Amino acid sequence: MYIPLLFFYAGVRVMEYGYARVSSTEQNLDRQIMELKKYVAEGNIVVDKASGKNTEREGYQALKGLFGLREGDVLYVTSLDRLSRDKEDIKRELQWFQDKKVRLKILDLPTSLIEVPEGQAWILEMIQNVLIEVLSSIAEQERLTIRKRQREGIEAAKAKGRHLGRPRLKLPEEFPAIYDRWKDGQLTAKKAMYLLGMKPSHFYRKVREYEAGNEPKGV
């Protein structure tokens, strides 16, 4: 990871950064860096070799930290999924860039690269808002799809008579005999569990099931 030196122009610091990420140390960053170098000095490109499951990555967090991006700065990425694979995370990051007045330019989204006349920054804000809304809609649709598939899976399993959740463990053949000896005081509960190979929670749950199943009718 490399964080570039700071430069000041007329008392106002303006920086252009690039950010590249791959998911593992075995993957290569060259393609992303080659694309980013068309817009940013190589020394200003920050890289991570880490999963995109969330945004907790050393290089990326350094960019957002004390010596990183500031109002008026620009960050280039080759695609939105370099920030994260999770759409909720991406939405939050876009909101962060918007709140901090940092320009995010995404190379595979040409509308994010447009330049606007001075005093018309509202156009860029509109583009950012559209991106956030689109990602919100996609994330919500994905959640609904996942829930629908889960519901359909549960209904299909019920229709086939399958038991959902953890499989029920059958009682050991020796359970009734050991149960009787435990109830008669011949065995301690600890000894009974040892002989049956059961943990306390499992043992007492099976005791309740066994007793409920062996209650005389009408009792």
Maximum separation of any 2 CA atoms in the chain, in Å: 93
Closest CA to 71 of 93, 109, 99, 33: 99
Confirm whether 23 is a catalytic residue. yes
Catalytic residue IDs: 23
